Amino acid sequence: MHVLSVVGARPNFMKVAPLLHRLAARGHASSLVHTGQHYDANMSDAFFRDLGMPEPDHHLGVGSGSHAQQTAKVMAAFEPIVQERSPDVVVVVGDVNSTLACTLVCSKLLIPVAHVEAGLRSRDREMPEEINRLVTDCLADLLLTPSPDADENLRAEGVAEERIVHVGNIMIDSLVAQLPRARSSDVVTRLGQRPGEYGVVTLHRPSNVDDPEVLGGVLDALRDIAREVPLVFPCHPRTRERLAEVPGGADGLLLTDPLGYVDFMALVADSKIVLTDSGGLQEETTWHRIPCVTIRENTERPITITEGSNVLAGTDPDQIRTLAAQALKTPRDEHPTPALWDGKTADRIIDALEAWSEGPRPR
């Protein structure tokens, strides 16, 4: 097969890297398109290096803009590339604007699409990612799911059974592959911390950082928590701009620039608690069994709550404080990780692509 994979934003890189490595090992041709939705070197180039990913065959360089502008730029730039390459299948991952844009292009050109991380639902259409998930799963030919709840979501939406394949969580492939390197990172001592005696914070969602009142309340809670345990805050560039608009900002927190994948993974692996609005971190902390307080009203990854160490706090400062205090008193859970979160998902994806390419292809 010739498999064309698409990445656009940092969470995509950890999902595509294992797939590229295994495609090459199994003798399939592959090409990579980077839309440039994340264009900061600290958030893109460093991750490519850490994950051992090849240079993209095409870099679209779309940059920032409104959702409509970004989606339109990706579509216009991607269409001639996919026509020229004429792949057997295009693999899209996750739920960013690039995922939706490239799926739309391929659907209109009748080029098959496989969606990795299909079927996740937050039930919140105010989240732009939820719209991207719904439309991508409606149009994609093959839906590759990370967890049983995702399969059930797709069945409830009337998706044909032959389009659904439960393959497991490919982000864990990257985590397992890079964990030995992370163990040799000195990032914890470099930041003046001791293993197991600090927490990690990430915030980036517009619903949390664009409203000064919401952001101010979250920061109030984080500053209180930081009196109990030091909090390291690798800060998204967009979030850093918003911090300056809130009285007190990140006072009391250890603010850093974004970290590369290996350093960030090392930082999380040795932490005592994680407070985040990231979907991927909910999964990584579940694998590590590190207490995670998610600063959102909902999650598209409920398995991190039912089988993991994740709790939803919303944005209420008192609830964030209460759940963080409980988490800090809770020893790390040692129960097994969810099924198929074993570092072998990329091979199962390729198995599914091979089987699908040899059989009938219902649209």
Burial of 137 (0-12, 13-18, 19+ CB in 10 A): buried
**Which tokens hold the place of 157?**
């939406």
End-to-end Cα spacing for the chain: 19
How far apart, in whole angstroms, are the C-alpha atoms of residue 125 and residue 134? 10
Which member of 204, 236, 288, 335 is catalytic?
A: 204
CA atoms within 13 A on the CB side of 217: 15
How far apart, in whole angstroms, are the C-alpha atoms of residue 7 and residue 93? 7
Buried b / exposed e along 291-319 (16+ C-beta atoms within 10 A): bbbbbbeebbbbbbbebbbbbbbebbbeb
CB 259 within 8 A of CB 238: no
How far apart, in whole angstroms, are the C-alpha atoms of residue 82 and residue 105? 9
Distance (Å) of CA 99 to CA 92, 191, 260:
6, 35, 23
**Which tokens hold the place of 91?**
């693999």
Distance (Å) of CA 197 to CA 97, 235, 277, 321:
37, 20, 21, 18
Enumerate the H helices of the chain as residue ranges. Answer: 10-25, 45-51, 67-85, 97-109, 128-139, 148-156, 170-183, 187-190, 206-209, 212-225, 237-243, 261-269, 279-288, 303-306, 317-328, 345-358
204 is catalytic: yes
CB 168 within 8 A of CB 345: yes
How far apart, in whole angstroms, are the C-alpha atoms of residue 231 and residue 240? 16
Of 151, 142, 173, 137, the residue nearest 15 (C-alpha): 173
Name the residues annotated as catalytic: 204
